[in-house]
Amino acid sequence: MTSALHPCDRVGLDFVDSAPNRFANSVELNITPEQLFEVLADADSWPRWAKVITNVEWTTPEPRGVGTTRLVTMRGGLLGSEEFLGWDEHTMMAFRFNEASEKRIKAFAERYDIVPTASGCTLTWTLALEVTGIARHTLGVSKPVLNATFRRFLKNLRKYTDERYGA
């Protein structure tokens, strides 16, 4: 299966802040940062709230941290081989695509920043990417739709965590 993957630029954590295309959205959650990290570390939870994801498979054993890898399968047959660039328990996690099944993905990274609040925590999710070819032109017009989809994922996450933890 991984033979169909193409290399992506091995960007660093700074790419999340400097990428040519960035989407940052936040959500208030009624769970603790520890509970949120449980959800983010749970492979089975991702397809429940990020509906584009159909499967998450950790490809390195626990404990998880910087350097941990996983394979994510998404609708439309998109595969991403991910490596974690940041893993600060209950505060931040970040990963990049090392490889993707879509050749037009030049670089891709995500960061999840978690801040405790009086009623739980705030999650800020930043998705960063650089694409090549025709995708550079089509991405511009699709940004509002993509961003609305990402905001919906966070609403789904809020609903999922409320149900999972009885908030």
Name the pTM for this structure. 0.94
- Of the listed ranges 81-95, 105-119, 123-137, 148-162, the one predicted with least confidence: 123-137
pLDDT digits (tens, 9 = 90+) for 89-112: 999 999 999 999 999 999 999 999
d(CA 7, CA 47): 24
Residue 1 is predicted with a pLDDT of: 45
**Which position has the token pair 């040519």?**
20
Residue 2 is predicted with a pLDDT of: 46
Cα→Cα distances 46→54, 72, 137, Å: 8, 10, 29
Domains of the chain: 2-165 (3.30.530.20)
Q: Are 84 and 93 in contact (CB under 8 A)?
A: yes
The pLDDT mean for the chain works out to 95
